[in-house]
């Protein structure tokens, strides 16, 4: 088990990204960073201030940014390319497909502002299908860290792992769950809580809600297993199968469409020997403007929703 | 003035590229002969004179880079690479065949000597800019050559890249435009007007040189001149689609269609005759 608990300490994942990039910049002179006029928001600008010769603000031209990153990677650079999730994937999907994934180049696409919790900017900026797009690409690996600490582990891990990655983070501050050294490994799930009645598999900052749901269920005498799945592709199939075997019920939680993200990966992983499963996520709809916490409630992505779903599934199983 | 023997040798190389293009596309039963034939002279000058590269060490870090942004002209690139020694010319017979490595569009993971995978138009110049920046970051002297189609520059990404190259003062990137005037659906000027072509690129901060893309001396001079510029350079090479095969020249239908059996025989006999005349 990996130690994790919800603390009062809130940190923005983007700050984790920024500090990890700078550390990496000092350690490896082949690290280059590109952005598309969102460097203050994605917080890559801090890298750019220190390593100005290795930082390229490409302007509002994501397609060109992705191609430049690919070209740099062919010459031995480790290219981090950042923007909002909606632009970093949807705006330049073909560039990622043709110039990054197909030639399997060392480009790390690190996106921020994913999910409904973007808030006020509304549906145009709330990217809910980025993991589906990136999961579908051969050679691409997809990661959604749970907190700023985990981001700090993910960044060096993917830098030393050759080939393309997609990392997604949200905009909002999120509770710090992990202590330092979370033993992040590409493709490995983290067991956070043990239980026999049901398994909650979560990714990204939804893992905090999963941990809260664990507490709510415990109060009612229900033992939930909580598995944090930072790597959505390749998903940790062994952890999924074990959860299905041990608990017989699975809930997936992600701030993403129920189509093609974690829910898709988990159901595929256990498709040969399935158990009842519910996907908590955005139900095939666009978002809207609003305050982040209100939207998360409105779209059914809270600990209460997870706990309620768990109780319903357990009741149905007992029939 | 260039050495007469050099000119003649490059003309021979270009003719041989054309023969391999016709032969490999005919054997494949599909492919793009028109836009491959139009760039044969340019490729001959690049691969057999201008570029520093080592077929025995395809990933030599200091080599000049070449990006075929108009990836559908792969038959010409594969011919040049095979002739240079990156792989056997016998492989050209296996173009587009299952289980063989010469993909319909260039794949850098499978084909030795290919510096960038291409095929979806409009993406090669951006990759070339990344390479040119890497050259400067690493304090190397290698240059980056990007060959684009004229229809291709209708893609918006080309103009993002054009702005980017001059913004970064990339004097080590040389783009060549295969200005054959034709795209799949018709004449470029009828489909989407590209003119005033040179002024568009100049307005984006590039030096522009215009040449006859089938004249070896002009190609060599332009490449030499481009090397001296302190800005990114675009060489507009006016070419004829299907150049070298009478019934393919200026033909829309041979953009993406192989020759029939009869056409193949005729095309090869024309090219053989041209070779004999050249060898006089």
pLDDT digits (tens, 9 = 90+) for A240-285: 999 999 999 999 999 999 999 999 999 999 999 999 999 999 999 9
Contact across the interface for B127 and A61, Cβ inside 8 Å = no
**Phi and psi torsions of B205, nearest 5°:** 95, 20
Does residue A80 belong to the interface with chain B, where contact is any CB pair within 8 Å?
A: no
Q: Tell me, which fold does domain A190-318 have in CATH?
A: Rossmann fold (3.40.50)
Contact across the interface for B137 and A77, Cβ inside 8 Å = yes
Nearest to B161 among A64, A76, A97 (CB): A64
| pLDDT at B227 (0 to 100) | 87
| pLDDT at A112 (0 to 100) | 98
Q: Tell me, which fold does domain A10-175 have in CATH?
A: Rossmann fold (3.40.50)
Chain-centre distance of CA B245, in angstroms?
18
**Of the listed A62, A129, A150, A209, which one is catalytic?**
A62
Contact across the interface for A102 and B118, Cβ inside 8 Å = no
pLDDT band at A11 (very low <50, low <70, confident <90, very high): very high
Q: How far is A212 from chain B (nearest CA, A)?
A: 45
User: What is the second-level CATH architecture of the domain B4-243+258-279?
Assistant: 3-Layer(aba) Sandwich (3.40)
Contact across the interface for B130 and A76, Cβ inside 8 Å = no
Q: How far is A208 from chain B (nearest CA, A)?
A: 39
Secondary structure letter of residue A34 according to DSSP: E
Q: How far is B178 from chain A (nearest CA, A)?
A: 21
Taking CB atoms and an 8 Å cutoff, what residues of chain A touch B131? 71-72, 74-75
Q: What is the full DSSP assignment across chain B?
A: ---HHHHHHHHHHHHHHHHHHHHHHHHHT---HHHHHTTHHHHHHIIIII----TTSTT-TTSPEEEESSGGGHHHHHHHHHHHTSS-GGGGGGTT-TTSS--SS--TTTSTT--S---STT-HHHHHHHHHHHHHHTT----EEEEEETGGGGSHHHHHHHHHHHHTT-TTEEEEEEE--EETTEEHHHHS---SHHHHHHHTT-EEEEEETT-HHHHHHHHHHHHH-SS-EEEEEE--TTTTSTTTTT-STTSS----HHHHHHHHHHHHHHHHHHH-
Task: Pick out chain B residues at pLDDT < 70.
Answer: 1
- If one counts every other C-beta atom within 10 angstroms of the C-beta of residue A268, the result is 13
Spatial separation of the C-alpha atoms in residues A74 and A89, rounded to whole Å: 21
Q: What average pLDDT does this structure show over A172-178?
A: 95
ipTM surpassing 0.90: yes
Domain boundaries, chain B: 4-243+258-279
- Strand A78-84 and strand A31-35: the pairing is parallel
Taking CB atoms and an 8 Å cutoff, what residues of chain A touch B118? 98
pLDDT tens-digit series, residues B77-129:
999 999 999 999 999 999 999 999 999 999 999 999 999 999 999 999 999 99
Q: Start-end ranges of CATH 3.40.50.970 in chain A? A: 10-175
pLDDT band at A319 (very low <50, low <70, confident <90, very high): confident
Q: What is the full DSSP assignment across A288-309?
A: --S-HHHHHHHTT-SHHHHHHH
Taking CB atoms and an 8 Å cutoff, what residues of chain B touch A64? 126, 129, 157, 160-161, 164
| pLDDT at B164 (0 to 100) | 98
| pLDDT at B1 (0 to 100) | 63
pLDDT band at A183 (very low <50, low <70, confident <90, very high): confident
Report the C-alpha dihedral over residues A283, A287, A293, A297, rounded to 10 degrees: -30
With CA atoms as reference, the chain B residue closest to A61 would be B160
Taking CB atoms and an 8 Å cutoff, what residues of chain A touch B134? 71-72, 74-77
Question: Measuring CA to CA, which residue among A28, A173, A188 is closest to residue A108?
Answer: A28
Contact across the interface for B128 and A71, Cβ inside 8 Å = yes
A141 token code pair: 């690996």
| pLDDT at A296 (0 to 100) | 96
Contact across the interface for A77 and B134, Cβ inside 8 Å = yes
**Phi and psi torsions of B59, nearest 5°:** -100, 20
Judge contact between A158 and A21, C-beta under 8 A: no
Is the pLDDT score of A182 beyond 80? no
Q: How far is B174 from chain A (nearest CA, A)?
A: 15
| pLDDT at B230 (0 to 100) | 86
Taking CB atoms and an 8 Å cutoff, what residues of chain B touch A75? 61, 130-131, 134-135, 138
A62 in active site? yes
| pLDDT at A249 (0 to 100) | 98
Is the pLDDT score of A108 beyond 80? yes
Nearest to A64 among B117, B126, B131 (CB): B126
Spatial separation of the C-alpha atoms in residues A148 and A160, rounded to whole Å: 19
Contact across the interface for A98 and B120, Cβ inside 8 Å = yes
| pLDDT at B137 (0 to 100) | 98
| pLDDT at B86 (0 to 100) | 98
Q: Start-end ranges of CATH 3.40.50.920 in chain A? A: 190-318
């Amino acid at each position: 088990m990996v130690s994790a608990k919800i603390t009062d300490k809130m940190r923005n994942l983007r700050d984790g990204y920024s500090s990890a990039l700078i550390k990496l910049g000092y350690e490896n002179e082949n690290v280059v960073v590109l952005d598309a006029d969102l460097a203050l928001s994605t917080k890559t600008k801090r890298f750019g201030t220190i390593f100005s010769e290795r930082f390229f603000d490409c302007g509002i031209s994501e397609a060109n940014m992705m191609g430049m990153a690919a070209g740099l990677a062919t010459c031995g650079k480790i290219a981090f390319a950042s923007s909002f999730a909606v632009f970093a994937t949807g705006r330049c999907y073909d560039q990622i497909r043709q110039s990054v994934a197909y030639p399997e180049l060392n480009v790390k696409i690190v996106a921020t502002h994913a999910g409904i919790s973007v808030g006020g900017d509304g549906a145009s900026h709330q990217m809910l299908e980025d993991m589906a797009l990136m999961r579908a690409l051969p050679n691409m690996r997809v990661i959604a860290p749970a907190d700023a600490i985990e981001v700090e582990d993910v960044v060096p891990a993917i830098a030393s792992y050759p080939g393309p990655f997609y990392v997604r983070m949200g905009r909002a501050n999120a509770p710090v769950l992990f202590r330092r050294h979370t033993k992040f490994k590409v493709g490995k799930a983290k067991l956070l809580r043990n239980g026999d009645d049901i398994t909650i598999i979560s990714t990204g900052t939804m893992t905090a809600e999963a941990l809260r749901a664990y507490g709510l269920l415990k109060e009612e005498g229900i033992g939930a297993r909580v598995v944090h799945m930072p790597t959505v592709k390749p998903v940790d199939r062994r952890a999924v199968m074990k959860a299905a075997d041990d608990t017989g019920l699975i809930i997936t939680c992600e701030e993403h469409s129920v189509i093609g993200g974690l829910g898709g990966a988990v159901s595929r992983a256990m498709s040969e020997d399935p158990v009842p499963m519910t996907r908590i996520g955005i139900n095939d709809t666009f978002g809207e403007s609003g305050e982040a916490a209100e939207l998360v409630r409105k779209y059914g992505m809270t600990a209460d929703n997870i706990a309620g779903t768990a109780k319903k599934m357990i009741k149905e199983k007992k029939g | 003035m260039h050495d007469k023997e050099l000119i003649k040798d490059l003309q021979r190389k270009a003719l041989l590229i054309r023969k391999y293009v016709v032969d490999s596309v005919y054997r494949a039963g599909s492919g793009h002969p028109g836009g491959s034939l139009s760039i044969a002279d340019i490729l001959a000058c690049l691969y057999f004179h201008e570029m520093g590269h080592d077929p025995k060490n395809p990933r030599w870090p200091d080599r000049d880079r070449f990006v075929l942004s108009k990836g559908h002209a792969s038959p010409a690139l594969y011919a040049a690479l095979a002739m240079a020694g990156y792989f056997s010319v016998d492989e050209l017979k296996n173009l587009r065949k299952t289980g063989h490595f010469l993909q319909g569009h260039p794949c850098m993971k499978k084909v030795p000597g290919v510096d960038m995978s291409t095929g979806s138009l409009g993406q090669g110049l951006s990759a070339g800019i990344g390479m040119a920046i890497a050259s400067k970051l690493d304090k190397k002297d290698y240059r980056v050559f990007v060959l684009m189609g004229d229809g291709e520059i209708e893609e918006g990404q080309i103009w993002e890249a054009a702005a980017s190259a001059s913004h970064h003062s990339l004097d080590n990137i040389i783009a060549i435009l295969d200005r054959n005037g034709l795209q799949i659906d018709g004449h470029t000027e009828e489909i989407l007007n590209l003119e005033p072509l040179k002024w568009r690129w100049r307005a984006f901060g590039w030096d522009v040189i215009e040449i006859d893309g089938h004249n070896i001396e002009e190609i060599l001079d332009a490449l030499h001149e481009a090397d001296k510029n302190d800005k990114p350079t675009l060489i507009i090479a006016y070419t004829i689609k299907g150049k070298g095969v009478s019934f393919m020249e200026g033909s829309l239908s041979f953009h993406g269609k192989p020759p029939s059996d009869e056409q193949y025989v005729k095309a090869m006999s024309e090219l053989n005759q041209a070779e004999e005349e050249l060898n006089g």
